[in-house]
Amino acid sequence: MRMGPSSAPFLSAAAEPLYRAAVASGRTTPADLAERAGIDRVAAEHEIEVLAAIGLLDVRDGAIEAVAPRMPLEQVAAEHAKAADAARRLASVFADVWSEGGDRLNFVEVIADEARINAVEAKLMDDTASTVDGLCIGPVSPRKLQPGMTIPPPRVAVGFLEAMERGVRGRGLYGVSVLEDFEGLAAVHQCIAAGEQARVFAQVPLNLMVFDDKRAFITVPGQKGARRSAIVVHESGLLDCLVSLFEVFWQMGVPLSAESQVVDALEGGPGPGEQQLLSYLAAGLTDEAIARDLGVSARTVGRRIARLEEVLGAHSRFQLAVQASRRDWI
């Protein structure tokens, strides 16, 4: 099988204002068209060549005139569709070659190079059309860093905010360590502000992103000095399992909001105040009764209970009691 690049040109962001200006102007010159479109002259000249090659502009005797768009663009769409079909067929052939050459699974790719990991992650995000679902263990606590171990600061995934702007739906489930880290929580707040639904859970098992339920991207600690490795999972039974795994953990998560604050992790167990509060809850006291006994408002009691629920990954009073009991806190 042979496949060459598509002969159909690709339009840039400058194409629309140039074409609009050409339609509004009638027959005009390249310089006037660039000025009317508010585009740099050099950039406009290149895009005018592309629009003319497609057939959207008629360029003759140094003058430019817009052409009706339907037929030229239908031709471009048809050529790109043919190229895409050829690429898919070639990908299938290459996947078989890859699998046969080393007894490999063609629905799994392992990437160890950091630069390529970043590039693949960005490409998956850029190609996403409808949904991005993610599990994130969260920032590594400074108390857990090994000597000489360096971890980049938490950040929003490359391309995520742009994906949200174009209408992609985002859901993120974060480990409770995000509530211990100001930079990590700030990154989550950015995602929430962009429209992400965010939740927190005590025991997020892995770092995973699922794109349109068609690709999964898993990152794991690297070996031989590498910071991390990545696994890309294509459509398969394994991908179906990962999609289901996300949904299970998502249902167990506690909603996060833009008002969520950094809290103590209570790694050493609850303090006397938390212990007393948990004991009151286990005894079935209402918030009002607890508030009267502690000499605080019921609202303060509610905030303290919500804080414990976030730390323990519980989304009900019952789950809070179960989680606390498992840790022998009550």
Give the lowest-confidence range in 123-127, 162-166, 213-217, 317-321: 317-321
Q: Which residue has the tokens 């990590």?
A: 184
Share of the chain above pLDDT 70, in %: 76
Asked if the model's pLDDT at residue 3 lies above 50, the reply is no
Output 104 or 302, whichever has higher pLDDT: 302
**Among candidate residues 158, 210, 193, 200, the one with its CA nearest the CA of residue 178:** 200
Q: What pLDDT is recorded for position 105? A: 60
Helix and strand tally (H, E) in the chain?
Answer: 12, 10
Q: What pLDDT is recorded for position 4? A: 42
Q: What pLDDT is recorded for position 132? A: 97
- Give the chain's domain count: 3
Average pLDDT for 87-94: 70
Asked if the model's pLDDT at residue 197 lies above 70, the reply is yes
241 shares a domain with 131: yes
Laid out side by side, the sheet with 228-233 consists of: 108-111, 228-233, 215-221, 207-211, 131-136, 169-175, 197-201, 254-255
Q: Is residue 264 in a domain?
A: no
Query: For position 249, which CATH number holds?
Result: 3.30.870.10
249 shares a domain with 139: yes
70 shares a domain with 154: no
18 shares a domain with 101: yes
Q: What pLDDT is recorded for position 305? A: 84
125 shares a domain with 244: yes
Q: What pLDDT is recorded for position 6? A: 44
178 shares a domain with 286: no
pLDDT band of residue 119 (cuts 50, 70, 90) is very high
169 shares a domain with 241: yes
Average pLDDT for 106-127: 89
Query: For position 56, which CATH number holds?
Result: 1.10.10.10
120 shares a domain with 249: yes
Strands 169-175 and 197-201: parallel
CA angle at residue 184 from 178 to 268, to 5 degrees? 35
The backbone region for 284, taken as left when phi is positive above 0, alpha when psi lies in -120 to 50, beta otherwise, is left
Asked if the model's pLDDT at residue 270 lies above 70, the reply is no
47: number of Cβ within 10 Å: 24
Asked if the model's pLDDT at residue 104 lies above 80, the reply is no
Q: Is residue 261 in a domain?
A: no
212 shares a domain with 289: no
Q: What pLDDT is recorded for position 2? A: 38
Angle of helix 287-294 relative to helix 298-312, nearest 10 degrees?
Answer: 110
The backbone region for 314, taken as left when phi is positive above 0, alpha when psi lies in -120 to 50, beta otherwise, is beta
Q: 129 and 166 in contact (C-beta within 8 Å)?
A: no
Q: Is residue 267 in a domain?
A: no
Q: What pLDDT is recorded for position 5? A: 43
The domain boundary, picked from 88, 106, 124, lies at 106
Range of the domain at 161: 116-255
Q: What is the pLDDT of residues 38-74, one digit of tens each?
A: 888 888 888 888 888 888 899 988 899 999 988 888 8
Asked if the model's pLDDT at residue 200 lies above 70, the reply is yes
Q: What is the pLDDT of residues 138-191, one digit of tens each?
A: 876 554 545 555 566 788 998 999 999 999 999 999 987 776 677 888 888 899
Question: If you average pLDDT over every residue of the chain, what do you get?
Answer: 79
Q: 178 and 200 in contact (C-beta within 8 Å)?
A: yes
Q: Is residue 96 in a domain?
A: yes
Q: What is the pLDDT of residues 240-263, one digit of tens each?
A: 989 999 998 888 777 777 765 555
